[in-house]
Structure 1
Amino acid sequence: MKKALQLVMAVCLMAASSFAAATNYTLWINGRTGGGVIGNYNSWTYWGPGTTAAGINKKSVNWDGRNSIASQSGYVRNALDCFCTGNNWCYVVTHSAGDLMMGYVMANYGGSARVKKNAVANSSGVCGNSDGSSQTGWNIKWVRAASGAGGGSELSDAGSWTTSEPLVQDLKTSTARAMYNHNTTRNVWFYMYAGAKGTAYSGILPGQDDEAVAYHSTGGVAGSSGGSYCNPSDWLCNDLTLGTAANEGGSLKWSYHSVSFRDDNEAYNHYANGNWGGIVGVVRSAVVNSAL
């Protein structure tokens, strides 16, 4: 009887130890232009002051924001391996081209074998192995996309950005939409936040936009090319609907994509401006209240 009791206590202690070791992290993945130090998960130059609340155990997942999605995706995979394997789970936040990056990584690598890591990174952003075992994909609770560019941008199509940048080529609407299967998210929800404070020069962007990306992309609208989508107050084009519902006119959103915020008051532009500004600020507030 005594041995049986000791065995039960040992099992309970092991379970408690395993539970205590579980940690949640909030990963922030930048968009075009980059700015943070690659491999340094505490470098917040792209976003704003690192002292600002931005979800539990926040980490800045930096890539250069200029080279191709394929060539830079390894940095994001390193971070996901570091903090989202084993007992650890992640909340993921993206901005602009960071949405294209995260979608690409999930579709192409989210079903692969990942060695479990110990969440202790070296100067290159690579973590050590934990127990040597592997798992399929990563432990991700959700993705929240601020001005998601998974559907590309007409600014790239028109050459409004530096066309010598490989990333600008990736951001062409037809290229971005054909880059990977946007419906393949490994059952992880992408919650979309669409800004609408556009300007005169963003007239080449169809429908509502935030100066850089139009609603067809920031709203996760499916299809091989972009379309014109607006707020309900605008009668000149079809409404982008909230949630997963089909948009006015019948177009669908990609699987596991849901519009959480539509900028009906046209108050938020695309840019963080080094101070968690624009649509990034809206997402940050949502993350503070939900990434716990």
Structure 2
Amino acid sequence: MAQRNERKVRKLLSWAAVAAVGVAAVAHATNYSLWINGRNGSGQIANYADFSYWGPSGVNAGVNKKSVNWDGYHHVSDQNYLIRNALDCYCTGTNWCYVAVHSAGNLQIGYALSLYGGTTRYIKNATPGGDGTCGNSGGTQTGWNIKWVDVAGGAAGGSELADAGDWAISEPLVSDLKTATARALYDHSSTRATWFNMYAGANGALYSFVLPGQDDEAIAYHSSGGVSGSSGASFCNPSDWFCNNLTLGTAKTENGKAKWGYHSVAFRDDGQAYNHYTNGNWAGIVSKVRADMETNAK
């Protein structure tokens, strides 16, 4: 109950910030829902209408949904300009964004906010060209207008599958996904005061011998729960007596490990029902984020 109330308070504060812009400005504002894919991205780059990574495009996944496609193969640093292009397009001026990410998409939005969220951005017209960039509409601002970020199976803390070579080691992205590398890639607590709502799946028996604690077959709770530190650790559901609990909300884990700043566990898979994979139908832990976006991204 306390965790749900905490989230409601954050949303009210976000809406209050929007209201402060002024009645005239709000009247012309548009809200967008941006979806950022993870590893092995399959959507056409610069085509914000291509949801092939996620599932059927007709599914309700938040107001004015846009698919921010990157290749899910190259280094985060090499592909991050595509995320910044989308944020410039849809999250500047009087327009605001809700952002949903999956897996390594967590690294992409975290990298963008930490390293570029304090930079000067041109206000854009939300009308993208074929290259995914939008025209200037006049003026500049610092950073982007983002209400919150929903994270499904977040890989910002890396994965032991990358450490152990279970994924093709020739992929540049896999080197970024090693636990020590991912955690050192940028300051994960530097979110520009944007809340990251973490959704952690636990239906992951296949790789339990590699991934510590509870996992969704690709990402362990230390990452999907936004737990801070320079390396991963073992965290579980309360039903597991032999493992420290991943707590809900912003509370420290059972053994006292803090979460990154502005990170809160919105969903912990106590029933071990959700794995990492969308299966081309908004499935797995993504289904929980999609439901939240449908309900709250208005």
Per-residue CA deviations over 1:120-178 (Å, capped at 9, x if unaligned) read: 000110001112x1100000000000000000000000000010000000000000000
Residue 3 of structure 2 is matched in structure 1 by none
Q: In the alignment, is the contact (CA less than 8 A) between 1:198 and 1:210 conserved in 2?
A: yes
Partner of 2:135, secondary structure, is: strand
Q: Which moved more, 1:193-202 or 1:121-130?
A: 193-202
Letter in 1 for 2:228: A
Residue 112 of structure 2 is matched in structure 1 by 105
Equivalents in 1 of 2:214, 2:263: separation in Å? 19
Residue 11 of structure 2 is matched in structure 1 by none
1:128 aligns with 2:135: yes
Q: In the alignment, is the contact (CA less than 8 A) between 1:190 and 1:256 conserved in 2?
A: yes
1:29 aligns with 2:40: no
Equivalents in 2 of 1:69, 1:281: separation in Å? 24
Letter in 1 for 2:123: K
Letter in 2 for 1:116: I
Q: In the alignment, is the contact (CA less than 8 A) between 1:202 and 1:212 conserved in 2?
A: no
Letter in 2 for 1:129: N
1:164 aligns with 2:170: yes
Partner of 1:123, secondary structure, is: coil
Q: In the alignment, is the contact (CA less than 8 A) between 1:79 and 1:125 conserved in 2?
A: yes
Decide which of 52, 56, 64 is 2:63's aligned counterpart.
56
Letter in 2 for 1:92: V
Decide which of 47, 67, 92 is 1:40's aligned counterpart.
47
1:83 aligns with 2:96: no
Equivalents in 2 of 1:48, 1:233: separation in Å? 33
How far the C-alpha of 1:236 sits from its partner, in A, is 1.4
Equivalents in 2 of 1:16, 1:239: separation in Å? 45
Q: In the alignment, is the contact (CA less than 8 A) between 2:207 and 2:218 conserved in 1?
A: no
Residue 252 of structure 2 is matched in structure 1 by 246
1:93 aligns with 2:93: no
Equivalents in 2 of 1:18, 1:209: separation in Å? 44
Equivalents in 2 of 1:192, 1:46: separation in Å? 20
Equivalents in 1 of 2:116, 2:78: separation in Å? 14
Residue 79 of structure 2 is matched in structure 1 by 72
Residue 137 of structure 1 is matched in structure 2 by 143
Q: Which moved more, 1:246-255 or 1:198-207?
A: 198-207
Per-residue CA deviations over 1:90-133 (Å, capped at 9, x if unaligned) read: 000000000011101100000000000000000110001112x1
1:179 aligns with 2:192: no
How far the C-alpha of 1:252 sits from its partner, in A, is 0.5
Instruction: Give the aligned CA root-mean-square deviation in angstroms.
Output: 0.9
Per-residue CA deviations over 1:36-59 (Å, capped at 9, x if unaligned) read: 000000000000000000000000
The number of residue pairs the alignment matches comes to: 277
Equivalents in 2 of 1:122, 1:203: separation in Å? 47
Structure with larger Rg: 1
Map 1:209-248 → 2, pairs under 5 A: 209-248=215-254
Partner of 1:142, secondary structure, is: strand
How far the C-alpha of 1:201 sits from its partner, in A, is 3.0
Partner of 2:209, secondary structure, is: helix
Map 1:265-276 → 2, pairs under 5 A: 265-276=271-282
Equivalents in 2 of 1:113, 1:56: separation in Å? 26
Q: For structure 1, which runs of at least 5 residues remain unmatched after alignment?
A: 1-14
1:195 aligns with 2:201: yes
Partner of 1:116, secondary structure, is: strand
Equivalents in 2 of 1:277, 1:16: separation in Å? 39
How far the C-alpha of 1:16 sits from its partner, in A, is 6.2
Letter in 2 for 1:139: N
TM-score when scaled to structure 1? Answer: 0.94
Residue 8 of structure 1 is matched in structure 2 by none
Equivalents in 2 of 1:96, 1:201: separation in Å? 16
